[in-house]
Amino acid sequence: MSQNRPPIPKAIQRAVLIEAGHRCAIHTCRYTNVEIHHICPWEQCQEHRFENLIALCPNCHDRADKGEIDRKSLLFYKARLMSLFDADLGLPKGADASKSHELREDLDDTYHVQAEYPEFDSVDDSVDELNALIRAEAISFIQACRKSAHLDGKFSPILDESERADLREFDIENENFDYMFYEIVHFGDNLLSIRNTCSTYRAGAAHPNHVASTFNYQIKPTFKFELEDICDDSDALASALSEFCINEIKRQVTHDTDAAGDDNEFVFTDWIENGAGPEPTKFKSFSLTTDSLIITFSPYSVAPYAFGFIHVKIPWRDLAKAVSLREPFRTLASNATTSAVPKSDKKSKRSKKSEQAK
């Protein structure tokens, strides 16, 4: 580091790491040993802006410095992360009121299981109940892996000596793991929404596989939200979500492939329309915030693995135009509509105040 280069402020460092879940921001890597990289090099920008910083593991960081991972790609990775966070330095609401825990178990020399989960600061019985439910989810994950290992024996592929030699040649260990880590999508305004990512890797595989699961609760009185709680007509909701998601996924996939210099027709239409078809089970991974419903599609569900997780953010006010929402979502849609003030109106008010001051 240059002697004239100031350190990155601690608050910004923390926000960048939280944004990426303290893992490499490249969704097909997710390595836990990370460094902070300037997307636009420091020599050019001479500033530490949150929007220009991304968490990368040492290997991906080195590849980015060499140009093997270009700047446009890094901006895509950053944009995907930022779309899930509020604008206050990337910190999801309520995340600073929690601490992280983990459960870890080595089921044998080559199979490791780990579940990370948050614990929120105890303020009343409702939060205590939520903490118990969150920990129970982590324990259930560990138990499922333990059962698979001991009863099914599915965790450890049978490799002959030549296959093991191939792994050693390419510096690949004969390791297997199942990890669950979390993101706090929203905590506050009587809503808690957590997105868990379950990552599975088996020795010799080309890459880990990732699946999203979600945890949505009203805080007080405490109860779990299911997708059908959003609207009385589940078929109408599935149809509306399908239309929103298919259009947005096509836009995202087309945007990514255009930027990569691929053919404009490089859109996986059948894959997308099947993966986001009008069936409630296609939208089981959903998150709730006060302004929108977020649908998460795991790798391979609507596009190839390289696209990673695809998130579709649907504002409540837009969804309310398509279906009849139940409470409290009807109120959230109404609040979003009434609080939306056009930018031109805001500028007009500021102009009038300025003129009055003169």
pLDDT exceeds 90 at position 47: no
Give pLDDT, residue 259.
Answer: 44
Could you give the percent of the chain with pLDDT greater than 70?
A: 78
Average pLDDT over residues 231-254: 93
Average pLDDT over residues 177-188: 87
Which bin fits 40, alpha (ψ -120 to 50), beta or left (φ > 0)?
beta
| Distance from C-alpha of 275 to C-alpha of 300, rounded to nearest angstrom | 9
Give pLDDT, residue 111.
Answer: 82
Q: Confidence band (pLDDT; 50, 70, 90) for 344?
A: very low
pLDDT exceeds 90 at position 224: yes
Average pLDDT over residues 338-355: 41
pLDDT (tens digit, 9 = 90+) per residue, 282-295?
A: 999 999 999 999 99
| H or E element, residue 125 | helix 125-147
pLDDT (tens digit, 9 = 90+) per residue, 53-81?
A: 999 999 999 999 998 998 888 887 887 77
Structure tokens at 192: 């808690």
Give pLDDT, residue 236.
Answer: 96
Of 54-68, 151-165, 176-190, 246-260, the one with minimum mean pLDDT is: 151-165
Structure tokens at 342: 């056009």
Average pLDDT over residues 170-174: 47
pLDDT exceeds 50 at position 206: yes
Q: Confidence band (pLDDT; 50, 70, 90) for 350?
A: very low
Residue 155 or 51, more confident: 51
CA angle, corner 126, sides to 120 and 129, nearest 5?
75
Compute the Cα dihedral for 125, 130, 133, 134 and give only its sign.
negative
Mean pLDDT of the chain: 80
Residue 138 one-letter amino acid: A
pLDDT exceeds 90 at position 21: no
Give pLDDT, residue 152.
Answer: 63
Residue 68 class from Cβ within 10 Å (0-12 exposed, 13-18 middle, 19+ buried)? exposed
Give pLDDT, residue 161.
Answer: 54
Structure tokens at 99: 């601490």
Give 107's contacts (C-beta < 8 A, 6+ positions apart).
113, 145, 146, 149, 150, 155
CA angle, corner 78, sides to 77 and 83, nearest 5?
105
Which residue is associated with the tokens 């078929």? 235
| Distance from C-alpha of 287 to C-alpha of 191, rounded to nearest angstrom | 10
Residue 195 or 306, more confident: 195
Average pLDDT over residues 351-355: 42
Structure tokens at 190: 């009587």
Scanning 199-267, the segments in alpha helix (DSSP H) are 234-259
Give pLDDT, residue 357.
Answer: 43
Residue 355 or 108, more confident: 108
Could you give the percent of the chain with pLDDT greater than 90?
A: 40
Give pLDDT, residue 255.
Answer: 62
Of 3-7, 73-77, 278-282, 351-355, the one with minimum mean pLDDT is: 351-355
pTM: 0.67
Which residue is associated with the tokens 């009385």? 232
Average pLDDT over residues 107-136: 87
pLDDT exceeds 50 at position 337: yes
- Produce one character per residue of 330-343: b if its CB has 16 or more CB atoms within 10 Å, e if not: eebbebbeeeeeee
Report how far apart the first and last C-alpha atoms of the chain are (Å, whole number): 49
Structural domains in the chain plus CATH codes: 10-82 (no CATH), 98-225 (3.30.565.40), 229-339 (3.90.640)
User: Where is mean pLDDT largest: 108-112, 114-118, 205-209, 253-257?
Assistant: 114-118
User: Where is mean pLDDT largest: 41-50, 63-72, 151-160, 240-249?
Assistant: 240-249
